[in-house]
Amino acid sequence: MKRLTTLMLGVALMAQTATAQLALDKKQNTGNEQSQKVTATIQKVNDYWQSHNSPKCRAFWDNAAYFTANQKVYQHTQKKEYLDYAIEWAEYNHWKGATQKDKSRWEYKTYGEGMNHVLFADWQICFQVYIDLYKLERRAERIERTLEVMCHQASTPEKDYWWWSDALYMGLPIFSKLYTITHDQKLLDKQYECFKWTDSLLFDTEDQLYYRDAKYIYPKVKTACNNGKSFWARGDGWVLAGLALVLQDLPEDSKYRPFYIDRFKKLAEGVARCQQPEGHWTRSMLCPDDAPGYETSGTAFFTYGILWGVNNHILPQKQYEGTISKAWKYLSEVALQQDGSIGYVQPIGEKPDPTRTVNARSQAPFGTGAWLLAACEYCEYLNSLSK
């Protein structure tokens, strides 16, 4: 009788193990299938963009933001066409941003698209792409200008380089990315010094969000919702995504890492509280009435940042899985158009502007780039769920 009982227990245990294994296999297969579908969509979106836009365009922020995402897509798919497209763009721009040679004429304190604005982060974001391309094929000319500009900036006494929130995506990550090549501690010291200055100026500790720049700090600008604070979605999207980029390259033992992680976590919490039921974030984060309707660029940058945080065990999955699910539903069912274009992108601007049209045909390189970043990170998320 004892042997029979033992045998029956053994059979039951084997059955439970087999059932558990089948469930695990099903979960893994489902996750892999979903990831493959998203990857196919990523390629459709990137193919659409590259077939409709020449790589022979300037290296200013609007185009360069797309190319930072194209690098991520290349890493994800290994499609040589995407790499060739990036190299053609970099070569067209001679591996430079703003081209002024005379350092005494280099500017950054005001907005500027001219060649003197060498230290203006909107002309420096291209360096992120050049560094990535250098790592693939270590040809000195690819980062010669990057080293000249960023090492000069690291040696200056000024710390007010990033006076607007967008700069925390454009300029902030360059220092830690370049550090992975040079291992020069001065780059990380300068990065932190400048970030602390920006953070002290623009971060609102109560709502855990960043103002776009000093012009919008409450009560200078008030929303239609109880005269409240005005936070611009794409501005905060730049910051969350930028912090994710910094943390990817910052050494694990860096003394600065805890502060970046603290701000990343707090910003993610502030962002998640503002998500709309449909999954997107409105242009005015705390007051949808200021600029109602869908908006993709801020939404996609938020989705990318939160996904990266979850995938890298900085943000808790259980806390953010609902946020991710709703955001991806919006990105894949509303922002994504049937032809592979990405719509509902607010045009170039600096605030939640209701006078600017945002619809299904509103496209921009930085909006497509933001979507691609989020989609690539979503694939990683699906793969992690299937393990």
The yes-or-no answer on residue 166 being catalytic is: yes
Residues 178-184: contacts with CB under 8 Å, at least 24 apart: 178/127, 178/131, 178/143, 178/146, 178/147, 178/150, 179/249, 179/250, 179/251, 180/135, 180/249, 181/131, 181/134, 181/135, 181/143, 182/147, 184/151, 184/154
Tell me if 90 sits within 8 A of 133, measured CB to CB: yes
Structural tokens at position 292:
């109602």
Tell me if 89 sits within 8 A of 130, measured CB to CB: no
Structural tokens at position 23:
């469930």
| Active-site position among 132, 166, 236, 290 | 166
Cα 195 to Cα 205: distance, rounded to the nearest angstrom: 16
Cα 161 to Cα 120: distance, rounded to the nearest angstrom: 7
Tell me if 345 sits within 8 A of 336, measured CB to CB: no
Catalytic residues: 166
